[in-house]
Chains A and B, each alone.
Chain A
Amino acid sequence: MSAGSEPVRQATQSRRTGVVLAAGLLAVGVFLLWSAVTADGDFGAQGPRLAPVVITVAWVVAAAVFLAMQLRPQTDATAEPEIDPETPTEDEENDGDAPAAKAGWLAPGGVLAALAGLAIALEYAGFVVSAALFIVVTARILGSRHLVRDVIVAIVLPVVVYLGFTRLLDIFLPAGVFPL
């Protein structure tokens, strides 16, 4: 357990997160409901506009109930499972792949940035080059410390996949700068 001395503060924090989350869901629901109601068209039972209104009304109602549950003191049987705060524990076995840094929000953010790079590079640099770079970078973000191994995988895997998909399965993949 991290900072076991302050469980109260942690509980308050996770509850506040829950309230913010529920309020956010409610806000999105209200916006979608507004855009469903203001669309023009047939709102009759057979028309195309009813379902969006029904769904967004349900969204708003469910989000409101969720918000109410987050605001209520959590003591009775319906208590929501507490949102698990990050509680890093020691790794049982450290074989060089376990991340040195605390994971938290940094790693997913990094992976997401790498993904965006992959999608943008895909059509310009081609599948093989962008996938190779992506694998090296992402493995690094996810805590790999074996650069040579990563590079070998990053070259072999995309080439095999590219050849397999384009030659065997006739599925188009962008070739880009890769001369094949």
Chain B
Amino acid sequence: MNVFGDLLSGFGTVLTPEYLLYAAIGVTLGTFVGVLPGIGPALTIALLLPVTFSLDDPIGTFIMFAGIYYGAMYGGSTTSILLNTPGESASVATAIEGYQMARRGRAKAALATAAIGSFVAGTISTLLLSLFAQPVAKLATTFRAADYFALALLAMVAVTALVGRSLVRGLLSLIFGLFLGVIGIDGLTGQARFTFGTMELLEGIDVVVVIVGLFAIGETLFVASRMHHLPEHVTPLESGAGNHKSWMSRDDWRRSWAPWLRGTAVGFPFGALPSGGADVPTFLSYTYEKHRSKNREQFGKGAIEGVAGPEAANNAAFSGVLVPLLTLGIPTSATAAVMLAAFQIFNLQPGPQLFDNSPELVWALIASLYVGNVLLLALNLPLIRVWVKVLQIPRPILYAGILVFATLGVYASTGSVNQVFIAYGIGVIGFGMRHFDFPIAPVILGLILGPMMELQFRRALVLSNGDLTVFVSRPLTAILLALVVVALLVPYLPRIVARLRGRPAESKRLTFAEDD
């Protein structure tokens, strides 16, 4: 009852012309940038952060961000289906079947099942978010510093262990992020760390600088190094005769609705758990649909279930990711980490207090998710021809433009050419990481969660007078730390099971995706 009252007042805030305009600008910008090949939601938000610097209205800004994020996801699926270049790992599963459908002249059906599936999943999962957010926030008020330390550790380790192909590479990425996080002046004592005597590093390395460096500059350098490998060919929407009239046939609907719901059911909880956002649930959904489907022989050749399920899971996971982000202040994916940075620009600290201190903002944000979903459905399919035009922007111009915006973004947010050079340096490292197959997402999480973790660790010790048992004396903390160990072991489960049964280990470790 209470929730619906709050939600209603959230809708009251959002459904004013001004905020509707913010939402519309957000979804349009997000779709536009998200459609651009190779750009995922994290980079979309990072590139568009400077746009918000002059806005002094946090509610409007976050309504816009929600729109940008959703738009980037919808746009990303368009690119995956028509161009087979997923901008983030969560769209990889969509690209597998979606591109095959497009090649067989069923592009419109693939786009429609992705968009409608996203709408269904987005709406259901936002409803779940509305119901769960407040209780979790209530629960979170009982969390202590030691619990936050354990949670942050769990989020970091889970992402590193579950995402990407090699644990050692993931750990090295994570450690690099942690290292970037300790650079600068220590918040509690004012001592400089790893500044090597330079003034520029005293303030630490800004998240925006790292994200722009790794995703925009690193990615563009990587693209430049292998221009030959890029697919340039945009699959046409229709192939010749017959397919013009409808988006989805009756049969398509019949085959899509169950995967949508199953995708939602997988996506939301996995998004809410510290397991790296949408990567794991999209692959789980894809695998499940592949094994369950009556049309199994169509998989790999354009099965509509393989688009419907993962797309729904992807969208549902976003609402799931918002649960720990809003209630605990803990980001569990690279994109959530960027959202957290956006919150911090407005001096807002997500966490249990957010629901008490700025209920208007929280509920307006949640309400804007419903609105954004509707807007996207209205925007996406009818305007598909516009987005196809965006896809056809020549690559050299596109990447030159991205680099200009990346430079602009760093310069506008820091006002310093030296910071621009730091971003370039990180970009070179990002290029090396892409080239040598290191995942990127753990760097961002290490950078964001590392300092948070250190602060809570030291705070816990100060409160307990330096007694280290504070981390195991409370059941909640101990359970969370045990889960960290479990997360590290999960990828090796198949092999451990095989060993226990006395068979030689033939299967590789469980993997789900690359980073985004």
Contact = CB atoms under 8 A, between A and B. Distances in A.
Nearest to B186: A48
Interface in B220-263: 220-222, 224-229, 231-233
Interface string A14-50: 0000100100010000001001100101101111110
A142 B231 contact: no
B507 A55 contact: no
Contact of A103 (B50, B227, B231): B227
A134 B232 CA distance: 23
Contact of B400 (A46, A104, A122, A135): A135
A118 B407 contact: yes
Contact of B226 (A98, A103, A110): A103
A171 B412 contact: yes
Contacts of A143: 227, 395-396
B175 A58 contact: yes
B404 A157 contact: yes
Interface string A104-128: 1101101110011011101100010
A97 B394 contact: yes
Contact of A153 (B168, B191, B217, B397): B397
A169 B53 CA distance: 8
Contacts of B435: 83
A77 B420 contact: no
A170 interface: yes
Indicate the member of A32, A112, A158 with the most B CB atoms within 10 Å: A112
A124 to B, nearest CB: 10
Interface residues of A, number: 82
A167 B468 CA distance: 55
B403 A115 contact: yes
B508 to A, nearest CB: 6
Contacts of A62: 168, 171-172, 175
Nearest to A105: B225
A1 B266 CA distance: 40
B408 interface: yes
B232 A92 contact: yes
B510 to A, nearest CB: 12
B12 interface: no
A98 B227 CA distance: 7
Interface string A137-152: 0111111101001100
Contact of B166 (A45, A80, A127): A80
A77 B454 CA distance: 36
Given A115-B407, A143-B396, A173-B412, A69 B193 contact: no
Interface string B414-441: 0101001100100110010001110000
Contacts of B188: 48
A83 B226 contact: no
A161 interface: yes
Instruction: With a 10 A CB-CB cut-off, give which of B221, B400, B508 has the most chain A CB atoms.
Output: B400
B411 interface: yes
Interface string A82-93: 011010110111
B179 interface: yes
Given A55-B179, A118-B407, 20 more contacts: A18-B436, A41-B189, A46-B458, A48-B193, A58-B171, A66-B169, A66-B172, A92-B233, A103-B225, A103-B228, A108-B221, A111-B220, A112-B424, A118-B403, A122-B417, A134-B403, A139-B397, A141-B396, A142-B399, A169-B54
26 contacts: A21-B436, A45-B461, A48-B191, A55-B175, A58-B178, A59-B172, A59-B179, A63-B172, A65-B168, A66-B169, A77-B495, A97-B396, A98-B232, A102-B228, A115-B403, A115-B424, A116-B421, A119-B424, A122-B411, A131-B404, A135-B400, A135-B401, A139-B396, A139-B397, A158-B404, A171-B54
- Among all A-B residue pairs, the 7 with the closest Cβ atoms: A144-B396, A48-B186, A142-B396, A138-B400, A107-B224, A139-B396, A108-B221
Interface of B: 50-51, 53-54, 165-166, 168-169, 171-172, 175-176, 178-179, 182, 186, 188-189, 191, 193-194, 196, 217, 220-222, 224-229, 231-233, 394-397, 399-401, 403-405, 407-408, 411-412, 415, 417, 420-421, 424, 427-428, 431, 435-437, 450, 454, 457-458, 461-462, 466, 468, 495, 505-509
Interface of A: 18, 21, 25, 32, 35-36, 39, 41-42, 44-49, 51-52, 55-56, 58-59, 62-63, 65-66, 69, 77-78, 80-81, 83-84, 86, 88-89, 91-93, 95, 97-99, 102-105, 107-108, 110-112, 115-116, 118-120, 122-123, 127, 131, 134-135, 138-144, 146, 149-150, 153, 157-158, 161, 165, 169-173
